[in-house]
Structure 1
Amino acid sequence: MRLQNASLPEVINRIGDFLFIFRTRARFKKSKIFISDSLIPSADVDHLQLPEFRYPGNDSRLQSLLSGETFTLNGNKREIIAFEDRTRGRFSCDIPVSQNSIDIRMVWEPARLQHLTILLLYLRDHNYQSDSGDFRETAKDFLTPHPTPLPSGEERKRKDESLCRGEGRKNDKSLSNGYKTDSFMQNIGEFVRNSLLDWLDKNPFLSGPHYFSAMECGLRIPVFFYALKILDNLDDLERQRILTSIYQHAWWISRRLSLYSSLGNHTVCECIGLVFAGAVFRSAPEGIAWLNRGIELLQQELFHQILEDGGPAEQSLNYHRFVLDLYWLAADFLEKNRLYDCPAWKPRLLQGETFLQAFCDDQGNFPTLGDSDDGWAIAPGIRPLRGSPFCIKLQKIQPPIQANSEAIKNQVSWETLPSSGYTIIRDKSGLILTFDHGPLGMAPLYGHGHADALSINLRVNGRTILVDPGTYRYNGFPEFRRYFKGTRAHNTVAIDGQDQAAQQTGFIWSHPFRAHLVRTCPIDKGLIIEGSHNGYERLKDPVTHSRIVSFLEGRHLLIRDTFSGTGTHFFELNFHLHPEAIIGAEKEWWVIQYGEARVFMRLFSGGSFTLIKGQEIPPLGWFSPAYGTKLKSRVLNCTLSGSVRNIQFLTAICIDSPGEDDFLLEMANLL
C-alpha cells in the first residue's frame, strides 16, 4: 500500500534504504565495528548552553523515580523487560513488529530515558556538584583513553539498589520536608550516571529493539547531551562513551530519515537528534552536515506540518502539542548557542499555539482528537520555553471571541479554523462544542488521522459530556486499533458498518474522504453550521452525508443528519458519553449528569436511542483516557435501514433543562 502511493524518488530512496539495511545487517552479524572511537571527531560540549525548561518540581515524582519508576504508557513493565531480554543481541531491523505483537510504543517509552531527564533537571536546578569534584574538562580530553576500567553493570546495579534503600544518605532529612542535603544530591547524580551507563551496557549500537525507529534515537540524543552538561561525576572514559553513543545515534538517523510518504512527527524528532548531535560535533564535517540537514528539514516541515490556521496536518491535537514543543526546544537551543536564527519560525509556531488555545477550557485542557500516544517532547510535566509571553498567554487560556453583533448579543462566540477544518462554539457559561469538518490527516497515508468527519464533542461546566474515544494502543489488539480510529467510535454517522475511509493497516488509510464547511450562518437567536463529507461515495450505491449543527438560545442544540445518493443502506448514529457520567431517563429524554453538568438528549426523528456499554464483538462503547488504558463507556445508539431519501436523524441536546418540544421543532423547520 505504501509503495502504491510512492513517487519515483521515494521508490529509489526505499531501494537505497533496503540495500543499506542489507549491508548493515551483514556487518552486524559478523560483529564488525561500525564506528571506532578513534574515528569520532573532537566534540565541544562545554561551550554549548542548555535550552530553557519549564519544570514544576515534584518531590513524590522524584522519590518514585529513585525507586526505579520508568514511564511505560500503562504497559506491563515485566512484559517490556522480557521482550527486551528476548530480542537482546538481535539486529534491530530484524525484530518483528506487528499489530498482533507487544505494543512496541510501550517498549520504546522507557528507552527514551525521559525519567533521567527529570532527575537531571532537578540536579541542575539545585546546583548539584558531586563529591568527586567537577570532571568537566576540555573537549579534546573527553576522548582521551582512561586507564581505569568502567564499573560493570552488576556493580552499578548494586550501587543503585543501595541508593534506593537509602544507604549512604542516613543523615539526610526526609524528602517530604523539601530539604535536600549534598549527600542526597550526590546520590541522585550517582543514580542517573549508573542508570545511563547501564542502559548503554544493555543496548549496544543497533542491538535490540531501541534502534528500530530513528525517531526514538532522535529523542534520546538530547538526554545524552543533558547528562554531559549536568553530571560532574563522569570520568573521561564515561564521557567518551556517551559522546560515542551520540555520534552513533546521529550516524544512524542521518541514514534512516523519515522522508516522502513517511514525513510527519517522526521526521521532527529525528531532526532534533541531528541538531543536538550536529552542535556537539560541529567542528567536524559530519557534524556540520547533521546540523544543516536537521535545520533544513525543520524549516521545510514547519510549513508542511503546521497549516496556515496553525492546525496540524496530521489531524491530531496531542501530536500537534508534541511537535510544537520539539520546535520550541530546537529554536531555543539553536538561538542560545548562536547556531541558527529562527525568527522566521516564530509566527508559525505562535499560530500553532493560538490554534490549540481555541480548543482549550480554562484549565488548558483540549480534546484528544486524532491519535495520541501520550508522548512528551522533553519529559512528562516538562516543557520548553514557548515563545514570548508578550505574544501569547500560556498561563491563562482565553477563548476566541468572534467579533460580530450577533455573537455579543447572544453571549455566543465561535471560531472556524478553515485549513484544519474545525469550528469551535462557546458560550459565557463554559459550554464548548467542536465540530469537525476537516480532512482525514496528512496525505498520502493519513497515518494518525481518525475517520471522524462531522463528529462533535461537547464540554459543559468543565465536564466533557460527548467524548472523543482516544487511541488506546497501536499494537497488540488490532480489533481495538481499528475501532478507536474508526467511524463508529466517534459522534457521527456510520453507513453499512463501514468507516468513512478504508483502513489498510494500523497507520495507513485508503479512499480518504473530503469534508468541507457548507455554511456558517448567524441567526436571530443563535448560530447554524453545516458541513458534509463524501466518504461513502465509494460505496456501490454512493451516499453523501450532511450535518447541520444549530446553537439556540437557552443553551439548546439541534443536530440534523441528512443523506443523498442511491440505494438502501444501514445507518448508525452514535453519541459517546464520558464513562463517569450518570445516565438516566425522564419521559422522552435521556439525562446525562456529570459533576455540575446536566444534559438532556433525545431524537425527534429517526427512531429512538438505545444504550450500549462496553460491547466486545464488534467493539462499541469504549473510552481511552490514556495510552494503554481502555474503559467501558456508554453510547447512545440509533440504527435505521432504508432508502437514502427516507432517512434522517434529528437530535436535540439541551443544557440544564429540556427544551419545549414546540419550540425545538419550530426551530428545526428552519434548518
Structure 2
Amino acid sequence: MTEAAVAGETAPAPPAQKDVWRKGRKPPLSARVRALGALPRRLLWQRLVYRLKRPYYRSPLYGIFLPRIESATPLCLPPDPWPGEAERGRALVDLRFTFAGQTLENPRPLWSPEQASKAWLEELHSFSWLRDLRACNGDPARRQARALTTEWMEKHRTWSSPAWDPLVIGRRLSHWLGQYDFFAASAEIDFRQKLLESAARQAAHLSSVLPAGLTGADLIVALRGLAIAGACLPDGQPWLKQALALLSRELTQQVLADGGHCERSPGRHLAVLRDLVDIKATLHAAGAPLPDELQLAIEGMGPTLRLLQHGDGGLALFNGSTAEEGFKVDMVLRRADARRRPRTSAPQTGFQRMQAGRTLVLLDSGSPAPPGLDMAAHAGTLSFEMSVGRERMIVNCGAPAGQTGSDALRQALRVTAAHSTLTLAETNSSLLSGGRAFWQTGLVARAENVLCRRNEEEGATLLETQHDGYAERLGALHRRMLYLAASGDDLRGEDRVEPSGADPFDRPLDFTVRFHLHPNVQAALVQTGDAVLLRLPKAGGWRLRCSGAAIALEDSVYFGDTQPRRSQQVVLRGRCGRDGARVKWALQREAVRDKPAGKR
C-alpha cells in the first residue's frame, strides 16, 4: 500500500469485492433492488412518508403550527460530563471548522458552503462542537458559541435540510441544553428566550416525525434529544412521555438477551450506552421516574461492552468501529455503574472472548446485523483480534473515525480482505451494498447461518465456528477453530473450506487467510520462509507458522486511531481441491533466551 493511500489521498486497496455467483450466474435482481426488498416494510413506509412530507415541512404554513414559548429559563438541565477537545475549540474561535475529516476556514456561507460534504454539514448543524468550545474555558469561546447559535437561529427558523433532519435535531437539542450552563445561562434574557423558543419548535417537529425511518443507534440519538427537551423545556411533558414510550419499545428490540446491541458494532454499542446513561441522568435531574426497560438495558450493556474491550481499554475493530480512547470507554462504564466482570461470550449478539495469561482474543462469531440495521455491517464474519497485555497485535483494518472518509474508502474497509479471516476467491463473505442514504441499505446477502461452539477445560479455550456466507455464490463453507492454551502463550487455529453440498467443487478456488498487524508490531519473514517473527514493543516476540498454505508478508493499513497508519499483514495463500482445503497455523510466544555468562 502506498504512502498516499495511508494519508487518505486514495482509498486503501485490499482485494476488490467481486459479486461472484455460483457457476458464473448473475444475481436475478440488481444488488440495490435485493437490498431494498429485504428492508422491513414498516421501515420503508416510514422513510417514504417522511420523504413525501418534506415539501409541507418547508412551507410557511407548517411553521404556524409550531409552538412559541416565552420562558427564558429551562425547568432543569441535563448533566454533560463528556470531555471536549480544547485544541479544536480554539480553532473554532478562529472560525476554522474541522468535521468529518474536512477542514474549512471561515467558510461562506457558513451554514451551507458549497465545498462542504454532507457529513461536514451534519456535524456543523448538530452543535456537538459546543463541547470543544467549553473545553477552552474562556470568554472568547463563550462569545463565539453565542454568536454562532444566534446566527443559526436567525437563518434556520423554518425547516431545511440537513439542519432540520431528525437525527441532526436530536443531537442539537442534546448539545444546546447540555451546554446551556456554559454558553447561555449568563447571556442576555433575549438570547435565552430565543434559544428556548427555537428548541421548543424543533422538539415539536421532532415529536411529529419520529421515528422518521431512523433505526438502531440513530433512533436512540433522536429519542435522547426529544427526551432531554421534554424534561427541560416548559410544557414539554408530552414530548418526554412520547420519547420514553418509543425508547422502551426500541430497547426491548435493540438490546439483545446477552446485553449486546443489535447492530453488532462495538462503537455503536458504546454510543447507545452513553446515550442511555445521559437519558437516565436527565430523568434524575428532572425528578421523573425511570422506565424499567432503560435500567435493564444499561445493566445488560455494561458487561458486554467490557467483553469488547482490548487490554488497552479500547474497543475491538468490528463493523465500523474505531478503537476509541480507553479512558472514555471506562468513563461510560463508570457512569453506567457497570461493575460486573466482562462476559466471556455474547451468543445472541455473536462475539466471543478468550483470555488466558496476558493474551486476549476477540472473535466475531455471529451473523451480520439484519436488514435495516446493517449500515455499519462489515463482511468480516469469523474475523478475530488479539492483544497481549495492553498491546494490540492482530487487528482488523477498522474504519474512518465518525463520518470521516469518502464512501469509496469506507466501502474498501468493509470488505472481507480488510479483516483477519479467510477470504475465498477474493469474494466477500457478505455481499455489500452502498445504496443511497434514503434507503439505508448495508448488505445484499449475508452469512445467514453462523455456528459457534465453545469448550473450556483447565484454563484453555476451544472455539469451533462455521459460516455459510460463500454457500450460495461459491458452494462453500468456511470453518474456523481457535485454541488458546491456559498459559496464554500459544494460540492455534485451523481454517477449512468445504463444499456446502454433497458434490465436490467443480473448479479450483483460491483462498487467502489474513492476519492484519497493528502498526506497532514489527514483522519479518524467517530465512527459511516458512514462518513470520512478530515483535511487540513490550510483549516480546511471537512466531507465526502454518501448514497447508504459502506464507508471505504484505502491506496493510490501520484505521483504528484518528488518523490512518501504515501497517503490515501476514498472508497465507493456497488453493482448494475438489474436496476443499485445510490450513493449520500457530501463533506462539518466543522463549526468552538466557544471556551467556559474562555478557551483559
Distance 1:385 1:486, change over 3 A: closer
1:225 aligns with 2:177: yes
Q: Give unpaired runs (5+ residues) of structure 1.
A: 88-100, 124-184, 401-414, 614-620, 660-671
Shift of 1:425: 1.2
Aligned residue in 2 for 1:130: none
1:479 aligns with 2:432: no
With 291-300 and 113-122 compared, the bigger mean Cα shift is at: 113-122
Distance 1:387 1:289, change over 3 A: same
With 594-603 and 41-50 compared, the bigger mean Cα shift is at: 41-50
Distance 1:255 1:468, change over 3 A: farther
Q: Secondary structure in 1 aligned to 2:433?
A: strand
C-alpha contact (below 8 Å) 1:215/1:269 kept by paired residues: yes
Aligned residue in 2 for 1:431: 359
Shift of 1:547: 0.4
With 487-496 and 303-312 compared, the bigger mean Cα shift is at: 303-312
Q: How does 1:257-268 map to 2 (within 5 A)?
A: 257-258=210-211, 262-268=214-220
1:577 aligns with 2:507: no
Aligned residue in 2 for 1:54: 81
Q: Give unpaired runs (5+ residues) of structure 2.
A: 1-32, 436-440, 594-600
Give the aligned residue type for 2:446: P
- Provide the C-alpha distance between the structure 2 equivalents of 1:47 and 1:310, rounded to a whole number of angstroms: 34
- Provide the C-alpha distance between the structure 2 equivalents of 1:295 and 1:634, rounded to a whole number of angstroms: 47
Aligned residue in 2 for 1:105: 119
Give the aligned residue type for 2:395: V
1:23 aligns with 2:56: yes
Distance 1:49 1:573, change over 3 A: same
Q: How does 1:549-568 map to 2 (within 5 A)?
A: 549-552=482-485, 555-565=489-499, 566-567=504-505, 568=508
1:358 aligns with 2:292: no
Shift of 1:322: 0.7
Give the aligned residue type for 1:456: F
Aligned residue in 1 for 2:247: 298
Higher relative contact order (CA 8 A, sep 6+): 2
Q: How does 1:192-231 map to 2 (within 5 A)?
A: 192-201=145-154, 203=156, 205-207=158-160, 209-211=162-164, 213-226=165-178, 228-230=180-182, 231=184
Give the aligned residue type for 1:530: E
- Provide the C-alpha distance between the structure 1 equivalents of 2:351 and 2:219, rounded to a whole number of angstroms: 26
Q: Secondary structure in 2 aligned to 1:485?
A: coil
Aligned residue in 2 for 1:133: none
User: Which whole-Å deviations, capped at 9, do the CAs of 1:184-213 have from their partners, x for residues lacking one?
Assistant: x555433332232234345554345433x3
Shift of 1:243: 2.1
C-alpha contact (below 8 Å) 1:189/1:233 kept by paired residues: no
Aligned residue in 2 for 1:371: 320
Distance 1:102 1:559, change over 3 A: farther
Q: Secondary structure in 1 aligned to 2:99?
A: coil
Aligned residue in 1 for 2:374: 446
Q: How does 1:270-281 map to 2 (within 5 A)?
A: 270-281=222-233
Aligned residue in 2 for 1:532: 466
Aligned residue in 2 for 1:547: 480
TM-score normalized by structure 2? Answer: 0.80
Shift of 1:453: 1.1
- Provide the C-alpha distance between the structure 2 equivalents of 1:515 and 1:189, rounded to a whole number of angstroms: 54
Shift of 1:488: 0.7
Aligned residue in 2 for 1:459: 387
Aligned residue in 1 for 2:349: 420
C-alpha contact (below 8 Å) 1:62/1:119 kept by paired residues: yes
Q: Secondary structure in 2 aligned to 1:499?
A: coil
- Provide the C-alpha distance between the structure 1 equivalents of 2:339 and 2:545, rounded to a whole number of angstroms: 42
Shift of 1:544: 0.8
Aligned residue in 1 for 2:197: 244
Higher-Rg member (1/2): 1
- Provide the C-alpha distance between the structure 1 equivalents of 2:468 and 2:77, rounded to a whole number of angstroms: 49
- Provide the C-alpha distance between the structure 2 equivalents of 1:461 and 1:340, rounded to a whole number of angstroms: 42
With 345-354 and 113-122 compared, the bigger mean Cα shift is at: 113-122
- Provide the C-alpha distance between the structure 1 equivalents of 2:329 and 2:579, rounded to a whole number of angstroms: 52
User: Which whole-Å deviations, capped at 9, do the CAs of 1:537-579 have from their partners, x for residues lacking one?
Assistant: 111x411111000112551111101122142322121110112
Q: How does 1:17-416 map to 2 (within 5 A)?
A: 17-25=50-58, 27=59, 32=60, 34-35=62-63, 40-42=67-69, 46=73, 48-54=75-81, 66-68=93-95, 70=97, 72-78=99-105, 84-86=111-113, 103-120=117-134, 185-201=138-154, 203=156, 205-207=158-160, 209-211=162-164, 213-226=165-178, 228-230=180-182, 231-258=184-211, 262-283=214-235, 287-361=236-310, 363-372=312-321, 387=335, 389=337, 392=339, 415-416=344-345
Aligned residue in 1 for 2:398: 470
Aligned residue in 2 for 1:158: none
C-alpha contact (below 8 Å) 1:42/1:281 kept by paired residues: no
C-alpha contact (below 8 Å) 1:80/1:106 kept by paired residues: no
Give the aligned residue type for 1:320: H
Distance 1:492 1:272, change over 3 A: same
Q: Secondary structure in 1 aligned to 2:129?
A: helix
Q: Secondary structure in 1 aligned to 2:456?
A: strand
Q: Secondary structure in 1 aligned to 2:470?
A: helix
Shift of 1:280: 4.1
- Provide the C-alpha distance between the structure 2 equivalents of 1:399 and 1:210, rounded to a whole number of angstroms: 40
Aligned residue in 1 for 2:582: 648
Give the aligned residue type for 2:147: N
- Provide the C-alpha distance between the structure 2 equivalents of 1:7 and 1:310, rounded to a whole number of angstroms: 23
Aligned residue in 1 for 2:419: 490
Aligned residue in 1 for 2:14: none
User: Which whole-Å deviations, capped at 9, do the CAs of 1:55-82 have from their partners, x for residues lacking one?
Assistant: 5698767655545565524323349868
Give the aligned residue type for 1:35: G
- Provide the C-alpha distance between the structure 1 equivalents of 2:591 and 2:449, rounded to a whole number of angstroms: 33
Give the aligned residue type for 1:247: A
User: Which whole-Å deviations, capped at 9, do the CAs of 1:373-431 have from their partners, x for residues lacking one?
Assistant: 7999xxx8996795564x627xxxx656xxxxxxxxxxxxxx12111111111123x21
How many residues in Structure 1 have an aligned counterpart in Structure 2?
Answer: 542
Identity percentage of aligned residues:
18
Q: Secondary structure in 2 aligned to 1:558?
A: strand
With 574-583 and 228-237 compared, the bigger mean Cα shift is at: 228-237
- Provide the C-alpha distance between the structure 1 equivalents of 2:106 and 2:427, rounded to a whole number of angstroms: 34
C-alpha contact (below 8 Å) 1:52/1:384 kept by paired residues: no
Distance 1:14 1:338, change over 3 A: same
Q: Secondary structure in 2 aligned to 1:206?
A: coil
- Provide the C-alpha distance between the structure 1 equivalents of 2:422 and 2:448, rounded to a whole number of angstroms: 15
C-alpha contact (below 8 Å) 2:262/2:349 kept by paired residues: yes
Q: Secondary structure in 2 aligned to 1:24?
A: helix
Give the aligned residue type for 1:48: L
- Provide the C-alpha distance between the structure 2 equivalents of 1:382 and 1:34, rounded to a whole number of angstroms: 44
Shift of 1:234: 2.8
Distance 1:644 1:571, change over 3 A: farther
User: Which whole-Å deviations, capped at 9, do the CAs of 1:339-397 have from their partners, x for residues lacking one?
Assistant: 33234422321221111112334552222321137999xxx8996795564x627xxxx
Q: Secondary structure in 2 aligned to 1:296?
A: helix
Give the aligned residue type for 1:598: G
Distance 1:386 1:250, change over 3 A: farther
Give the aligned residue type for 1:349: I
- Provide the C-alpha distance between the structure 2 equivalents of 1:453 and 1:488, rounded to a whole number of angstroms: 11
Aligned residue among 605, 608, 614 for 2:547: 605
- Provide the C-alpha distance between the structure 2 equivalents of 1:57 and 1:273, rounded to a whole number of angstroms: 19
Distance 1:551 1:309, change over 3 A: same
Give the aligned residue type for 1:469: C
Aligned residue among 567, 573, 583 for 1:633: 567
- Provide the C-alpha distance between the structure 2 equivalents of 1:591 and 1:374, rounded to a whole number of angstroms: 25
